[in-house]
Structure 1
């Protein structure tokens, strides 16, 4: 494993574009954690202080931070796509194979680096939550809501695995990135179509508890693991706290574990069957 890591690390470290993207991604996450407490948007002339509304209190801080940082996964996917497409553009995949690296080992280098990137991203989320939680909580109940950290890890890893599959399939970074965008838009359109086919103009009684089958598609389900943080006006009126407690969407987490296995298997199949 150390040998595979050294091979992949040298490729990424000595590629200026990949190195810059990685640094920018993690700097973005860190800056997000630093500036978040000072963000107080003005809505209809009223300054909204999310800290006073309990956004950074346990357990909801785990959900809020994981959901917010999760928007950066597309940026991380670009890093993965760029890294793999360079193998085809520069011929390093072919050269590594000639030098004795098996196709399975080559696949292992990409999988290992994607896993490390995901772990480091998850570590930064944990660091942000712990630092902000220690600052804005009287009671440091760190384990309450920590399930969202695991949900964040699965969400990010499943997303980059899908991006990796698209890159192995299409080879070109431009095609892979465009495909990721188009598929994301396409799944949203399919969800809208499902809504109108099933309900027409009659909105269901409880939209939040309505199961949409298109939510189990790869990208839709990925964004549902750590869903939009719920808010409660009733809770705001009674306690002054806007954010309500919730749980990781376990059914979507489970389907993403399935997608991870599926797209890893398909990626390995493509590598083994395709000519150099």
Structure 2
């Protein structure tokens, strides 16, 4: 708790921290909680899905709602990652890291303070999505029985793992680049352009050895994305993956160790 307090004291007067935090929570709540209103609108416009009334789609039924909400929330992982980027790069911009070390804070304690920030953002995401899914499920689900409510709850901690991984990745990049604007642009480009095209090339380029197709699912961002698969095809009678595999979880945990191993090495060895 002491280390989280250190981060809180650094961030609480920083306006962009509050803007990003509010956008993060409101974004998940508004987007996740408004699907039924969207379905009503589509119905009134005469739309249908393969002849099915859109309002009868069980988007908020238990246990579907856990995966649906968790998947939607992954699109908002950029907000906590930006908070981590700003927190880390500000240490270099305002030389607070060097001053903290001079004042007696060890490098390990500094790392624990950043880890506590990421864990705090992870818990925030889990709590918001849990209550959002739970209450929308109670309102709209046709059968809110205890057995269905408790089924597939593992998607909530899985969401937490995606937040933790992406924020850890952002922290590592921040340590390497030390500038917030450059780091945010690079994260965007890597996440949305470079890695997706690389994975696509690995999977479908006939001139590459099969090894590349094998490693494609284990690229950094792809490993995060594979934890919670797109759930909505089931509503047009297509098969989806609504479970976790050992290889997906193992890859995510390995990346977590890689990120934090590199972060520890940089903080311990480099002149900060």
The TM-score with structure 1 as length reference comes to 0.85
Instruction: Give me the whole-angstrom Cα distance separating, in 1, the residues matched to 2:201 and 2:164.
Output: 29
Tell me how far 1:231 sits from its aligned partner: 2.5
Specify whether residues 50 and 62 from structure 1 end up closer, same or farther in structure 2 by C-alpha distance, changes over 3 A only. farther
Specify whether residues 182 and 234 from structure 1 end up closer, same or farther in structure 2 by C-alpha distance, changes over 3 A only. closer
Q: Superposition RMSD on alpha carbons, in Å?
A: 2.4
Question: Pick from 62, 70, 73: which aligns with 1:69?
Answer: 73
Matches within 5 A, 1:203-222: 212-222=214-224
Question: Pick from 154, 174, 178: which aligns with 2:181?
Answer: 174
Specify whether residues 89 and 245 from structure 1 end up closer, same or farther in structure 2 by C-alpha distance, changes over 3 A only. closer
Whether contact under 8 Å (1:60, 1:243) holds in the other structure is: no
Whether contact under 8 Å (2:20, 2:83) holds in the other structure is: yes
Instruction: Give me the whole-angstrom Cα distance separating, in 1, the residues matched to 2:135 and 2:236.
Output: 29
Aligned equivalent of 1:189: 197
Deviating more after overlay: 213-222 vs 172-181 = 172-181
Instruction: Give me the whole-angstrom Cα distance separating, in 1, the residues matched to 2:264 and 2:203.
Output: 36
Whether contact under 8 Å (1:191, 1:212) holds in the other structure is: no
Question: Pick from 238, 244, 249: which aligns with 1:248?
Answer: 244
Aligned equivalent of 2:263: 267
Matches within 5 A, 1:230-249: 230-232=232-234, 235=237, 246-249=242-245
Aligned equivalent of 2:100: 96
Tell me how far 1:120 sits from its aligned partner: 1.0
Instruction: Give me the whole-angstrom Cα distance separating, in 2, the residues matched to 1:272 and 1:227.
Output: 37
Whether contact under 8 Å (1:55, 1:243) holds in the other structure is: no
Instruction: Give me the whole-angstrom Cα distance separating, in 2, the residues matched to 1:169 and 1:247.
Output: 35
Kindly report structure 1 stretches of 4+ aligned residues shifted beyond 6 Å: 242-245
SS of the residue aligned with 2:231? coil
Aligned equivalent of 1:204: none
Q: Does 1:86 align with 2:94?
A: no
Instruction: Give me the whole-angstrom Cα distance separating, in 2, the residues matched to 1:171 and 1:72.
Output: 23
Instruction: Give me the whole-angstrom Cα distance separating, in 2, the residues matched to 1:45 and 1:226.
Output: 32
Tell me how far 1:17 sits from its aligned partner: 1.7
Aligned equivalent of 1:207: none
Task: List runs of 5+ in structure 2 lacking aligned partners.
Answer: none
Instruction: Give me the whole-angstrom Cα distance separating, in 2, the residues matched to 1:88 and 1:3.
Output: 22
